[in-house]
Structure 1
Amino acid sequence: MKRTLVTIGASYAGVQLAASARELGFDGSILLLGDEPDAPYQRPPLSKGFLTGSVAAERLPLRAQAFFDEERIQWMPSTRAVAIDRERRQVELHDGTRVDYDHLALTTGARVRKLDCPGATLAAVHYLRDLRDARRLADTARSARRAVVIGGGYIGLEAAASLRQKGVDVSVVETEQRLLARVASPWVSDFILQAHREHGVRFEFGRKVVRLRDTHDMHDMVSVELEDGTCLLCDLVVVGIGVIPNTELAADCGLKVAGGIAVDTCARTSDPSIVAAGDCASFVPHWAPEGAPACRIESVQNANDMARKAASTLVGRAEPYRALPWFWSDQYDLKLQMAGVNAGFTGFAVRGRVEERKFSLFYFRDDMLIAVDSINRPQDHMLARKLLANRVRISAQQAGDPAFDLKVLANRSEAVAPRTA
């Protein structure tokens, strides 16, 4: 009898997992459950090209319907899983029906963290996680004059850049003392801050939003009140203060949850017959220092690469997940590309010219290259991914020397290093 694979969640990780399972020879039924009505789509453009109008909705789908048909993947839109019965190996759906499974994959992703203060539910308040959010925000932005963006992370900054490109006046409120405090070095934070200021964006650092209220004497305007008494008037509020992993299904059926759905290096949950991948999954990455706690990685790269390993596990070819993390962000004419994780770096080198807005920062910990941030230097980024994946020895002096040929070093190392990703 042919087996059935049920994948709960139809974004990057879910689509990749289903596709990889089929590619690896899984010949049974594959059900892909998605709670949105739209076909699985790209999410990064939502805060960038889709918001500015340069990317049409027709360009967003991850795969054409023909792909699902050809690969015999049954995509089920507007279908929400509400419970998992591990003993009977069934998934209960929102309409009360039950789906049997032999293999189960959780790619449930994450949801936006909501603003928690009086006035947080006003009509002017927008979030940006899914296509419905993006459509509503893009529609409102067409007539907006002033916007307040709450949160100085990637989503907030990308939304701020897109709104400024549409001519909207923008202020950003960030509780930390600098932008991208959780993920970027102070030097990158300062550079991005200056770029936004050059485009007219104003910033409020180290302050928290305590209230939003309608201003009855000013048509369609909202007052965003900060803890120091500052009031920012606007007709549009965009909130980007992080996400919460969707772990309820896993927790309710008894799977281990620790900051996310806990998985091992092969993407197995505490029930070895169930895998998880993507934004919802928590694990100790191979590059983390010894004794480091589990974490989640919120990126397209992680969703896709982890899903491939989860699919391998499902078909009996378990392999440790050892992919190099990388990320990107587009803001104005800046393409920020990051390879590796710079946490705990003890030194760095600059390659390129900061004044020309084309440079890379190479981060080192104990003389070992651990991460590279590139601004408008895509070749550096691609070479850095090879160097980091193969743990190539390179000194800060070499990295900062424009005459030193990174390409030769990266290609030589790739030819001799074992494949681990």
Structure 2
Amino acid sequence: MSEAVGHVVIVGAGHAGGTAAALLRQYGYPGPITLLGEEPIPPYQRPPLSKAWLKGEANAEDLALKPLEFYADHDIDFRANTTAERLERAAKKVVLSDGSELTYDSLILATGARAIALPIAGADLDGVLFLRTAADAETLKARVGPGKRLAVVGGGYIGLEVAASGRALGAEVVVLEREPRLLARVACEALSDFFKGYHEVKGVAFELGCSVTAFEGEGGKIAGVRLADGRVIPCDAVVVGVGAQPNDEIARDAGLECARGVVVDLEGRTSDPAVFAIGDVAHRPLPLYDRMFRLESVPNALEQAKQAASAIAGRPAPAGEVPWFWSDQYDLKLQIAGLPFDADRILLRGDPASAKFAVFHLKGDQVQAVEAVNAPPEFMMGKQLIGRRQPVNVDKLADPAVSMKEVAA
């Protein structure tokens, strides 16, 4: 059934690792499976941390991918609070932080990514926070509320989601972004302008084109953020959201090929045939765009979990998928399909003033990516157009009176 039924060790119990373990059993893999997680709780959904969890609308049990008993019921040895320190490929062995060792026949690295810290004075003050884990979200939730001042360093999607949740909890919020516009690295200017205006109506303040030079404190606690122009932005807590870097050290130290993450093929297999890497840590092929890239998204984690589990279980490879992402802010649902590589024009469909519109990134008459705000048909049909590499009638696409079904026909 499988290429070699043996012990599968999964390092990392996030969305990718947890899903891979469950899929192996779903695909009928009969061998032993060990799932190692650094956190004290079983695998859970991370996107709600900046939204439902922060607003007190969900807890660990609500967000769990599977109930804790699932792992024992399916003969998956889930080990919480467990870190892999070293990989010895020749011996097919993982050395754990407590000194114990695990041998494997197939290894899946699902170690994810970590928030980038700012190398500035005061970075170790109490109240300088990140948002990657449930523990991070719980700490932030305890510090945000009416009368509190929250500073967010970084105007990307996580920063804006935190800002929206902070406002929902009654805090004063200011977003500090070094680029001249929000979402500069991940979205077009029309989307940046829309989200800035929407957040401002909700009471969020912005400082754009600013450089953070230090965090200032009183009694060991954060009290303000110092900018390069000398101003100090007062705050009771600060969330740093300036990006993430892959946790690929264990792979690099073991001699696996890495390039902005662990390099893998379409099965999630690394330069060592017995080792796979999936999720945020993987630098993977994107056949639709004829390039390699590292994606940070739940859909990518799920897709790669399917790829690796299928390869290990000896199943046919799953069909390739169009990369997609989403962000929830206030009553807005942003859905993004594809990536705007090589796009040579941008087409706006709908009116941003209505908070229901889509931005299409085109390469000639092909859709490379779509950013859809409260516009599910544009997202769904746009995703199909991207996947099929189907030329589109640009005039019809630009006309909201023409249905997306007709555009995609």
Q: TM-score, normalised by structure 1?
A: 0.92
User: Measured at CA, do residues 221 and 267 of structure 1 come closer, stay the same or move farther in structure 2, by a change above 3 Å?
Assistant: closer
Aligned to 1:6: 9
Unpaired segments of 5 or more residues in structure 1? Answer: 413-421
1:16 aligned to which of 7, 15, 19: 19
Deviation at 1:408, TM superposition (A): 5.2
Amino acid at match of 2:190: W
Secondary structure at 1:284's aligned position in 2? strand
Aligned to 1:367: 365
Deviation at 1:318, TM superposition (A): 6.2
Distance (whole Å) between structure 1 residues aligned to residue 222 and residue 244 of structure 2: 27
Residue pairs, 1:115-194, within 5 angstroms: 115-142=118-145, 145-194=148-197
Distance (whole Å) between structure 1 residues aligned to residue 267 and residue 319 of structure 2: 6
1:341 aligned to which of 339, 342, 347: 339
Asked if the contact 1:144–1:236 (Cα under 8 Å) also holds between the matched residues in 2, the reply is no
Instruction: List per-residue Cα deviations over 1:149-182 (Å, max 9, x = no partner).
Output: 1000111111011101111111111111111111
Secondary structure at 2:95's aligned position in 1? strand
Amino acid at match of 2:353: E
Asked if the contact 1:266–1:318 (Cα under 8 Å) also holds between the matched residues in 2, the reply is no
Aligned to 1:94: 97
Deviation at 1:305, TM superposition (A): 0.4
Asked if the contact 1:350–1:360 (Cα under 8 Å) also holds between the matched residues in 2, the reply is yes
Moved more, 316-325 or 133-142: 316-325
User: Measured at CA, do residues 180 and 47 of structure 1 come closer, stay the same or move farther in structure 2, by a change above 3 Å?
Assistant: same
User: Measured at CA, do residues 98 and 225 of structure 1 come closer, stay the same or move farther in structure 2, by a change above 3 Å?
Assistant: same
Unpaired segments of 5 or more residues in structure 2? Answer: none
Aligned to 1:418: none
Aligned to 2:278: 277
Aligned to 2:77: 74
Aligned to 2:235: 234
Secondary structure at 2:293's aligned position in 1? coil
User: Measured at CA, do residues 309 and 393 of structure 1 come closer, stay the same or move farther in structure 2, by a change above 3 Å?
Assistant: same
Distance (whole Å) between structure 1 residues aligned to residue 71 and residue 141 of structure 2: 29
Deviation at 1:321, TM superposition (A): 7.0
Secondary structure at 1:267's aligned position in 2? coil
Instruction: List per-residue Cα deviations over 1:277-335 (Å, max 9, x = no partner).
Output: 1000012311225xx4x321000000000111111222334638732110000111111
1:206 aligned to which of 206, 209, 218: 209
Asked if residue 34 in structure 1 is aligned to residue 32 in structure 2, the reply is: no
Where in structure 1 do 4 or more consecutive aligned residues deviate above 6 Å?
none
Distance (whole Å) between structure 2 residues aligned to residue 388 and residue 2 of structure 1: 37
Aligned to 1:397: 395
Instruction: List per-residue Cα deviations over 1:206-237 (Å, max 9, x = no partner).
Output: 22111111257xx9661211111121111111
Aligned to 1:251: 252
Asked if the contact 1:265–1:320 (Cα under 8 Å) also holds between the matched residues in 2, the reply is no
Secondary structure at 2:54's aligned position in 1? helix
Asked if the contact 1:267–1:321 (Cα under 8 Å) also holds between the matched residues in 2, the reply is no
Distance (whole Å) between structure 1 residues aligned to residue 353 and residue 178 of structure 2: 29
Aligned to 2:269: 268
Query: What is the number of equivalent residue pairs in this alignment?
Result: 406
Q: TM-score, normalised by structure 2?
A: 0.94
Asked if the contact 1:357–1:376 (Cα under 8 Å) also holds between the matched residues in 2, the reply is yes
Identity rate of aligned residues, in percent? Answer: 42
Distance (whole Å) between structure 1 residues aligned to residue 319 and residue 211 of structure 2: 38
Amino acid at match of 1:352: G
Asked if the contact 1:46–1:128 (Cα under 8 Å) also holds between the matched residues in 2, the reply is yes
